[in-house]
A and B are shown apart, each in its own frame.
Chain A
Amino acid sequence: MLSRRLYVLPFLALLALIVVWPLSTVVVGSFKPGAPLEHYAYILGSRFYLKAFSVTLKLSLLTTALGLAIAVLPAIALRARSRRLSDLALTIGNIGANFAGVPSVLAFMILLGSNGIVTKLLREAGLMEGFDLYSWSGLVLTYLFFQVSIGTVLVLPVITAIPRDIEEAADLLGQGGARFWASVGLPVVWRQLLSVATLLFANAMGTYATAYTLMGTSAQIVTVRIGELVAGDVFADPGLANALSICLLVVLIAPILLAQLLTAKGTKA
């Protein structure tokens, strides 16, 4: 009985080798011997890195809010319809999530790049003045693609799980439709929606492929900065990369912990 617990060991060993060990060296390596906080002080004093953090944060917050809103609406619309349609939406969301990163950005480039199909059409129509895919608006658009995809996959089950009878009860009381969702439906699931939001936010903060494919190293995105430090030959500075990683981790995990604290308080009340 006890000896068969050994079957878990290889798995735990791999987790230790592939996650715990590397991560702990990142933590340790972020403190410079002799001057432990020097890397952190450098980051906090660097306009370059602070800008990267502020752009990434803004981008992640904006696309999380938009992505969640865009995902919630079809989820509500799908609730009243057949199960198969919801399953289809879930499947599409999953495909979208798998399509995120390089392929989705390439697709956006074909459509909306400087020589893109849609760009040409719109330019001919005299629209699309000043739109540039390789800029902030392009980042928002490409990030939104995966935020909506993942958001749909996560939100749909939450909305579907709201008991139908409370909606019918609200209907009978004359509180149907939008009023139901505003006063009952969404408040009932706010905890789950909040945790979905933290997941979307953390995912956006940590993503690399989308920004890097779209703009290369000129993207002012934290992950791209870190990637540049470890891959670039000129700027290679492992200590700084470690400290940046830890800063990213903190920014990314803080909302998750905060949300858990918030929802835990909510359940007690």
Chain B
Amino acid sequence: MSRHLSGSFLFLLAGLFALPFLAIALSAVATDWSDALLPRHIGLDVITSVLGDPRFQASVLRSLAISFTALALSLALIVPAIVAAHVYWPALDRWFARLVVLPYAVPAVVLVVGYLRVFSQPPVQINGTPTLLALAYVPLCFPMLYVNVKNALQGLAVRDWLDAGRLVGATDERVLLCVVLPMIAPAIGLACVLNLGILMGEFVYANLLVGGRFETLQIYMFAQRSESGSVTSVIILAYFLTLLLLTALAIWLSARGGTDKR
């Protein structure tokens, strides 16, 4: 009885969640839906026109470029740091989780206020440039990377491997690169995919730091808010499908990582 009740409750919730997306999907293919209950024409012309829009394409490319730059930078900075703290600096390691969420503990708007002050004058005058945006995105990647890499490290006998390496004259770096890195690579890959989703969806920094000077996907979407329903529907649908794709990739990666360990 209560099982049926909770079942219908879940079903209702799932329906509530799915319905808007169905409506938006319908709206994306409907061309003339201004005054009737159901659209008069259904076609792919809006979809092709939006996807073919150079401004849309450019914004996607900018978003990808800035995300990959920030991801690469954050990887280079935090992966060695996590491993070094894990192996050589246990005292710092205990604080790492807190350090990593620091950028998230402060609202982005507040940090932006600081950036505009700090980076609008020498020595680091990069205000309004994509460089600053990329830099601002770097710490956003830290928590995902930390959680995944740290989890992966905890299951590994890193100290024993280093000892085994030292006995045959292999530097710690060689063992870390040849053994530890391959072992944590799946976790890093998963974190990268999840971070890509976060960065592609970032709006606050993009809007306040570069705005229209460097139109990312989110800025482009924001600018289209006053366009017709079908145009925004197509954009939202495209974004939603991208998120689904990233999610599927993440699920696939984590499933593969799970079987690798066995």
Give A residues with C-beta under 8 Å from B: 1-2, 4-8, 10-12, 14-15, 17-19, 21-26, 29, 73-74, 76-78, 80-81, 85, 91-92, 94-96, 98-103, 105-107, 109-111, 115-118, 120-121, 124, 177, 202, 205-209, 212-213, 223, 226-227, 229-231, 238, 241-242, 245, 248-249, 252-253
Contact = CB atoms under 8 A, between A and B. Distances in A.
19 contacts: A7-B81, A15-B139, A19-B106, A19-B111, A26-B117, A74-B9, A78-B10, A94-B247, A95-B244, A102-B218, A103-B221, A110-B23, A111-B23, A115-B229, A118-B23, A208-B107, A209-B207, A238-B116, A245-B110
A29 B103 contact: no
Contacts of B7: 77
B81 A124 contact: no
B81 A19 contact: no
Contacts of B60: none
Given A8-B84, A80-B3, A92-B17, A227 B208 contact: yes
Contact of B78 (A11, A177, A248): A11
Given A213-B222, A231-B208, A226 B109 contact: yes
Given A110-B232, A238-B117, A18 B103 contact: yes
B24 interface: yes
Given A11-B81, A238-B117, A117 B247 contact: no
Contacts of B225: 102, 105-106, 109, 213
Contacts of A91: 247, 251
Q: Is the interface of B mostly helix, strand, loop or mixed?
A: helix
A117 B27 contact: yes
Contacts of A85: 10
Contact of B37 (A24, A121, A229, A230): A121
Given A23-B114, A26-B110, A124-B37, 19 more contacts: A7-B81, A7-B88, A11-B77, A14-B138, A15-B99, A19-B102, A23-B106, A81-B10, A91-B247, A99-B201, A103-B240, A106-B225, A111-B23, A115-B229, A116-B229, A206-B107, A241-B113, A245-B113, A253-B105
A98 B243 contact: yes
Q: How large is the interface on B (under 10, 10 to 19, 20 to 34, 35 or more residues)?
A: 35 or more
Q: Is the interface of A mostly helix, strand, loop or mixed?
A: helix
A21 B116 CA distance: 12
Interface in B197-241: 197-198, 201, 203-204, 207-208, 211, 218, 221-222, 224-225, 229, 232-233, 235-236, 239-240
A258 to B, nearest CB: 15
A10 B83 CA distance: 13
A106 B102 contact: no
A22 B108 contact: no
Contact of B23 (A4, A117, A245): A117
B113 A226 contact: yes
Given A7-B80, A117-B23, A1 B106 contact: no
A138 to B, nearest CB: 13
A143 B118 CA distance: 31
Given A19-B111, A95-B243, A101 B84 contact: no
B92 A102 contact: no
